[in-house]
Structure 1
Amino acid sequence: MPSSLLSRSPSLRALSHRDFAFLWMGTLVSNIGTWMESVALGVYVTEVTGQAGWTGGVAALAHVPSLILAPLGGALADRFDRRAFMSVCVCLQGLLAALLTVLAATDQLTVPWVAVISLLNGALNTLVIPCATALTVAVVPSEDLHNALSLDSAQFNLGRIIGPVLAALVLTKAGIEGALFVNALSFLAVLLALSRMRGTVHVVAPKVEALWAGILRGMRLAWADPGIALALGSAGLVGLLISPFVGLVPVFALQVLGGDATTTSLLLTAQGTGAVIAALGSGAIVARVGRRAFLETGLLLVGLSSAAYWLSPTLPVALGALFILGAVYLVVFTGLKTVCQARTPPELQARVSSLFLLLVNAGYMLGVWGQGVLSDHVGVRPITAGAALLFFGIVVLTRALRPRGLAALGT
């Protein structure tokens, strides 16, 4: 689509900026490969162990490094050339994907190997994500920021749609090693995109500022700004109570619905489809009702839609509920991330983005492992649906007791 037409479309306007378009396309290809790997490994761990606790635990390992590395990753991304920094991390991710492929092809893959490599991948993701967010903010004007972050979420969820479908096909034809090999190749797309970017994408951090002093400066800003603090806290709570549905999709598909890898793929595709549609349509809605009202509505609906998914009696009902959850989930996270980035000075954006990642991952890690273990003892539906309804109750109670508190989410 010509850039002139893109600039007139409220849903695609950010893609009219050349550097953002390159970054968006490269990351999309990589995310397709990543979701192929996620489906393949999730099904593998569930089939080998037969326990939700193991599936949730392995999924949680990818988020453990963020508890230590997230603030460091943001500070480094603000200190060094962001394209070079991200390129090094992506190369290392490609090497880990290649190692998984070799292990699977030689019948040496085990659950401990999957756990170790998931941990290492999590460390690299913790460094890459704040850098990628800061790159996005740097290459689009402020009026297109919400649209750019929505499109970032859209490409992530396009990967969630395409990746599981391709994974189901490749797993059938070429086995787990085939899916892992495609993921290893997909990292080349990010490297190509970074090499083609030519705009100003780096804000130089003060030379005299020590690394840890820079980290603390980002934390002080987040604590002092009521909007950023509320957005970060909300993101952590979503990660704890709602986000575990992502890592536990194989458990729901195999153990509750009695399905297989194809069922897992269908569920992930339904969520991704809802998210993409929400991303493409949210620009017009935000322009009409405002960011704050849109975000508040999403916070109310995400708990209810999550509970509806977990209580779904059949696959068709689950697909419909997950489609809605995918849409609302995107609205919530895009809105919270936009609040954080819009209220942050350019030289601190990667650091605040890393704090966002830290809290989301910490919540998700505890939630997906804890809900998985409790589900093995109590049952999947009571635990997961109960967590979703608890989140809904917290939002309702906050609105009732502190009706003016959410005003800080305005940007």
Structure 2
Amino acid sequence: MQALAVPFYMNDLTDSNAWVGAAGFAALVPAVLATPLVGTLCDRMSRKRLLMASLSGQAVVSAIFLLLYLTDNLTPWRMLGLQTLTGLGGGFQWAPVQSLTALLVPPRDLVPAIRLVSMSFTAGRAIGPAGAGVTLAIWGPGPAFGVTFVGLAISVVILWSVQPRPAPVSGGEPFLQQFRAGMAYVRARPGMRLVLRMAFWVACLAAVFPSALAASVADDVFDTGGGGLGLITATFGLGSMVSAVYLARHGDRHLRSTTELVMASAYAIGLLLMGSTSVFVIGLVGYFIAGSAHLMHGTTLNSAIQVQVHEEYRGRVSSVWLMVILMGLPIGSLVGGILGDALSMRAVVLLFAGLLAVIVVMSAVRFDRFRLLDLDEPEVVAG
């Protein structure tokens, strides 16, 4: 919820798309820098301890957000500083979350477990802002900061009771050598490079509109303010929930290559609907389509990369996947915010939708309609 409360309050204070984009940029850049290093740590030490430290630190930052807001001392520059700390904490969270899965289930259940975790991870990033949008529209940012703090505190307590199997720890190599080995592992595998390519562009050109730039879309494209923001994020979350139900029941019916091609294209169509109309209801249809596509796209790519990695590289590979997403989001939010002030947010939505459509077509042609995503075991690489 905090992830949407900050740009909402920033927009309320400054009425500037550039400031809103900067808020997203400040949170995500530290995460981009920290995530690949944390992925290496995941392959060297306890993933549970790393996750505990991350959640605890983020809970402290959420408490500071709440305190400053309640005392009317939450200024734009202070928000940027706290967002930087939030991003640093997030950088220590996502790689351990992803790589813990293999230590909690027997090997025969790994594929469905990865799908479930992928759904939860992607749905949380969609449904959380949906709840935040409704909360912000009715009560404002304070409760959103409070709920974030409580949720993080509960997560720490739950994680304390979890007992994963010991992971194979590869601490013999120097840290930087191990880090470089992880990067080389990813570069040598075309299937993983395809996953990273699609993850970056969808994050940069599409996922920013239901997150960092959602308040700008509600305000500038549809002129609906806080109430519109709540409906936008709730509709996006509803689309994600519908996809989650479908995947839970029919996830094995479709090839991952087909799912990614269809869903990445659908994401672009949803954006085109948002940007091409002034009718708010039609814009909500676009957000519903985007929400459905978002969950299935994220689950498909995460499942593909997790089933194709050797266990001793899981932490590093998970961190690289997360890094490209976290790199795409701040770039998209900052560029989109600046262009939104210079042109209009409607023009930005249409421009990004067109670019995404072109990238999907070019990638489908170059990578044989994404067939590398269908591998269910680590790629065999010559040499």
Q: Normalized against structure 1, the TM-score is what? A: 0.85
What residue in structure 1 maps to residue 349 of structure 2? Answer: 384
Question: 2:251 aligns to what SS in structure 1?
Answer: helix
What residue in structure 1 maps to residue 62 of structure 2? Answer: 97
How many angstroms apart in 1 are the aligned matches of 2:149 and 2:73? 18
Cα deviation for residue 405 of structure 1 reads 6.2
Quick check: 1:153–1:279 contact (8 Å CA) kept in 2?
no
Cα deviation for residue 403 of structure 1 reads 5.7
Query: 5 Å matches for 1:43-58?
Result: 43-58=8-23
How many angstroms apart in 2 are the aligned matches of 1:403 and 1:291? 13
User: Does residue 167 of the first structure (1) align with residue 136 of the second (2)?
Assistant: yes
Deviating more after overlay: 134-143 vs 314-323: 134-143
What residue in structure 1 maps to residue 90 of structure 2? Answer: 125
Quick check: 1:303–1:391 contact (8 Å CA) kept in 2?
yes
Q: Which runs of 4+ in 1 moved over 6 A?
A: none
Cα deviation for residue 163 of structure 1 reads 3.2
Matched to 1:166, the amino acid is T
Cα distance 1:40–1:240, how it changes in 2: closer, same or farther (>3 A)? closer
What residue in structure 2 maps to residue 312 of structure 1? Answer: 277
What residue in structure 2 maps to residue 259 of structure 1? Answer: 224
Q: Normalized against structure 2, the TM-score is what? A: 0.91
Cα deviation for residue 248 of structure 1 reads 0.7
What residue in structure 2 maps to residue 240 of structure 1? Answer: 204
Quick check: 2:20–2:337 contact (8 Å CA) kept in 1?
yes
Question: What runs of 5+ residues in structure 2 fail to find an aligned partner?
Answer: 376-383
Query: 5 Å matches for 1:297-376?
Result: 297-376=262-341
What residue in structure 2 maps to residue 64 of structure 1? Answer: 29
How many angstroms apart in 2 are the aligned matches of 1:118 and 1:406? 36
Matched to 1:231, the amino acid is V
How many angstroms apart in 2 are the aligned matches of 1:358 and 1:79? 19
How many angstroms apart in 1 are the aligned matches of 2:103 and 2:133? 31
Quick check: 2:31–2:89 contact (8 Å CA) kept in 1?
no
How many angstroms apart in 1 are the aligned matches of 2:163 and 2:145? 32
How many angstroms apart in 2 are the aligned matches of 1:405 and 1:292? 7
Q: Deviation string for 1:110-166 (max 9, x for gaps)?
A: 000001111110111011011111112332322312233123323443323333323
Quick check: 2:237–2:291 contact (8 Å CA) kept in 1?
yes
How many angstroms apart in 2 are the aligned matches of 1:80 and 1:398? 37
Question: 1:109 aligns to what SS in structure 2?
Answer: coil
Cα deviation for residue 74 of structure 1 reads 0.8
How many angstroms apart in 1 are the aligned matches of 2:362 and 2:143? 49
Q: Deviation string for 1:360-411 (max 9, x for gaps)?
A: 12122111111110111111111221111111112223334x3626221222
User: Does residue 409 of the first structure (1) align with residue 373 of the second (2)?
Assistant: yes
Deviating more after overlay: 278-287 vs 242-251: 278-287
User: Does residue 186 of the first structure (1) align with residue 151 of the second (2)?
Assistant: yes
User: Does residue 208 of the first structure (1) align with residue 177 of the second (2)?
Assistant: no
How many angstroms apart in 2 are the aligned matches of 1:110 and 1:367? 24
Question: 1:371 aligns to what SS in structure 2?
Answer: helix
User: Of 221, 226, 231, which aligns to 2:190?
Assistant: 226
What residue in structure 2 maps to residue 76 of structure 1? Answer: 41
Quick check: 1:66–1:357 contact (8 Å CA) kept in 2?
no
Deviating more after overlay: 273-282 vs 301-310: 301-310
Question: 2:170 aligns to what SS in structure 1?
Answer: coil
Question: 2:116 aligns to what SS in structure 1?
Answer: helix
Matched to 1:123, the amino acid is L
Quick check: 1:71–1:351 contact (8 Å CA) kept in 2?
yes
Matched to 2:115, the amino acid is H
How many angstroms apart in 2 are the aligned matches of 1:296 and 1:139? 31
User: Of 111, 119, 138, which aligns to 1:143?
Assistant: 111
Matched to 1:211, the amino acid is F
Question: 1:79 aligns to what SS in structure 2?
Answer: coil
Q: Deviation string for 1:183-214 (max 9, x for gaps)?
A: 222211111210221341x4132231221122
Cα distance 1:163–1:403, how it changes in 2: closer, same or farther (>3 A)? closer
Aligned residue pairs total: 370
Quick check: 1:80–1:204 contact (8 Å CA) kept in 2?
no
